Amino acid sequence: MRARYTNLTRIRTLDPERDHLAIYQTMLRYEFPWDMKLGLNLAFNRSFSIPAIAAVHMATGELTERTQKRIDDTGLLMYEMVLNGFEQPRGRDALRRVNQLHRPYDISNDDFLYVLGCLVVIPTRWLQEYGWRPPCCHERQATYLFYRELGRRMGITDIPGSYDELETWFAAHDAAHLQPNDDAAAIERATRMLMLTRIPRMLAPLGNALVSAMYDAPLRRAMRVDAPAWPVRAGLHAALKIRSRLLRWFGAPRTTALFADGIKAKSYPDGYEVSHLGPQSHAGSRETLDTRVPPDA
């Protein structure tokens, strides 16, 4: 049982300001791999549900017409930055590619900040509710600091000064802007497969109801998704709680890191080049962007 908390003990010896990347990597690759991936999937779904953001996605057609590739590209770019940070070549290339892909679109700072908030808050809330243990203060701080650095390097301004402040801003923005809209509904229908792949095969007949149960009520309203029957919601909640306790009592620390053999994606069975990820209209781009934002930005 004591060995179950080896990584947590080590994390508590680290300095989140200096070691936030190492802490966040440990969370994703060792402590909570399934939960973190699911939490990031939920964050992705929520990020396109604000009407203004959904409209941009619908205009590109990437999520509705080339769904699997768009999902894979997003995940690959995200995981490359987490696995390599922003100073190593692959992480730096992934960040440059993210900036290249966003440059043509007129996206407000608040919309960028909302997406950043999704990546910080939604997985953390999931871990607090269903992780085999709740994230500690070092892990919450490290999550915030990793994405704050990503935001700064994307040129996002007015990022709140702490996890708690960002969560407060996010909740207020969510309440004000997460409104029912047809674009979000269309994208959710196209991307539902992303969540269905997280459902155990034996529960496949209940897959759509279980996916809907993973969304909270405001998100379901925004995406025009019907609430599943209460036994499905209650059963999912109970099953996830039982899972968390079984992992806490009988689980062992993961010894092989998530993505130890590389990041795999359906769209790229033979591998991929970071600089070629994203829409084909951008694939040949070789422009170099200054992805380093001044510290006082």
Contact 95, 114 (CB under 8 A): no
User: Distance (Å, rounded) from C-alpha 148 to C-alpha 166?
Assistant: 10
| 159 found inside a domain | yes
- 127 domain residue, yes or no: yes
Decide if 292 is inside a domain: no
Which value, in Å, is the radius of gyration of the alpha carbons in the chain?
19
Which CA distances in Å does 56 have to 83, 140, 154, 277?
28, 30, 18, 19
- pLDDT one-digit tens code per residue, 71-85: 999 999 999 999 999
Q: Is residue 155 included in any domain, yes or no?
A: yes
Please give the residue that has the higher pLDDT: either 192 or 16.
16
In this prediction, residues 211-229 reach a mean pLDDT of 95
Query: If you average pLDDT over residues 151-170, what whole number do you get?
Result: 98
Mean pLDDT of the chain: 91
- pLDDT, tens digit (0-9, with 9 covering 90-100), for 92-148: 999 999 999 999 999 999 999 999 999 999 999 999 999 999 999 999 999 999 999
Structural domain range at position 262: 2-270
The length of the chain, given as a count of residues: 297
Predicted confidence (pLDDT) at residue 194 exceeds the cutoff of 80: no
Q: Is residue 285 part of a domain?
A: no
Q: Determine contact, residues 130/35, Cβ cutoff 8 Å.
A: yes
In this structure, is residue 259 part of a structural domain?
yes
CB 54 within 8 A of CB 183: yes
The answer to whether residue 287 is domain-embedded is: no
- Pick from 69, 95, 71: which is nearest to 83 by CA? 95
219/99 Cα distance (integer angstroms)? 27
Q: Which of 36-40, 49-53, 199-203, 246-250 has the lowest mean pLDDT?
A: 199-203
CB 133 within 8 A of CB 248: yes
Write down the pLDDT at residue 280.
66
Indicate if the pLDDT at residue 258 is higher than 90: yes
Number of folded domains that form the chain: 1
**Does any domain span residue 231?**
yes
